[in-house]
Structure 1
Amino acid sequence: MTVRSVVLDVDGTLVHGDEVIPGAIETVDRLRERGLDLLMLSNNPTQTPAAYAARLADLGFTVGPDDVVTSGSLTADYVAAEHPGAATYLVGEAGLREMLADRGVPVVTDPDRAEVVVASIDREFSYDRLRDALWALEGAAFVASDPDRTIPAPDRPVPGSGPIVAALAEAADRDPDAMLGKPGKTAAEAVESRVAGRNEEVLVVGDRLDTDIALGENAGMATALVLSGITTRADTDSSPVASDSVLDSVADLPALLDSWEDER
């Protein structure tokens, strides 16, 4: 198998919060030395790609804004393209609000003006916000940034966008019209448009079976699950999604690529 590009999840794969997973920086450097095309693809919608890249660079990774795509940037791109000029009610955080505004999307606070509702992680989520978002959805399009139920944190997992999206979907009795992060089609198309190679020439690496590995499986790409984040080895036995390889951490990735090269 010849790999030309590697798509790396970030939280749970390269870092836990602001703690670098041992060997992650060295692995990214070694992948670049091999001449591989790299893309960091995150379901974290709270930071712009530039801010995300700056955070990773501060931790020691060789990465720039063009190397990063997030569910937030995918969501903002989608709303701007599919609902140009539409008044958008956001259940989400400042970073996603900034990305929407940067693309000319008018973000409104009056639910009665909403033509689009965007649901995402919101660490100040409340009953009143749920009520207003429900009212906003009356006649509006429903867009979700990503389905992550939890996200890795230094001590234990914390809720992600998924529970916020699910609360609004349950209240409104409707599913989102679009889900922009992994494992959706929009995220797969973003990968294909930004990296070298196609199908199994692209390797997706991440810590979640239901998003990272499902993205690769659905798109016909090679996959490698790392056990440094959300998923445990026991989870792999009960999941309908199967990874081509299972690694203890991203530090084992260069050896995996070496073994694939030896099999050629």
Structure 2
Amino acid sequence: MTSPSNSATPDHKPRPWVDLLVSIVIPSVILMKFSGEEYLGNVNALIIGLAFPLSWGLFELIRYHKKNFIAVLGLISVGLTGGIGLLELDAGWLAIKEAAVPAVIGLAVLISTRTRYPLVRTLLYNPSVLDVSKIHQSLEESGSVDEFEERLLKASYFFAATFLFSSIMNYVIARWIVVSPSGTQAFNEELGRMTLVSYPMIAIPSMIMMMLIFYYLWRTIRRLTGYSLEEVMAPHLAEKEKKKSSSGSATEK
């Protein structure tokens, strides 16, 4: 009698609305609306508010084994925010922390270009997204490997620039919104407001910039190999697309 392997981990399906609710909306509402002494109080509101993204991040790491550098930095960032509030440090440290986290990631992206595993290659040009072996074979046949590597290096610089943008914007927004002493109700409310504002002003532009980088990388692959996107998608993604197409056709019939 065989038992299922304990090493198998469940497939991680992106849940952007859950991520948004747990990491942004709920903490912001708690910090802005329930920090008064008649509700949770300053300390309890801060602890409970930050517990949501912290717990969710830990759950994702443990449940799906998403032990990556960026996820760990996110958890550290939430922990530092709580520490600044609980220790009642100067609010200026919050702005420095907000700028430091994306700056560290951007620096890691630049350093990774000098290693065998650039982060752009790990995140965008990998077998879970594209049929890397098929692309590489075509590049070798056309003698375009060096040109592609140069474009991949450029994509890494663009990728690092997105984090530089986030770092600058994080600092500006933190200094603009969070002006009250830490450990106060006003500080908690401003922290919640900053969390809400940072999503549309930082996260969405950063996502658009990353999509443009992927498009730049894809256009390079198309020009050098002649393949369409469907032809170089990772096999498991291509299979999903075929199933969707076939089910859609069956529904129309």
Whose strand fraction is larger, Structure 1's or Structure 2's? 1
Whose helix fraction is larger, Structure 1's or Structure 2's? 2
Question: Which structure is larger by alpha-carbon Rg, 1 or 2?
Answer: 2
TM-score of the superposed pair, with normalisation by structure 2? 0.28
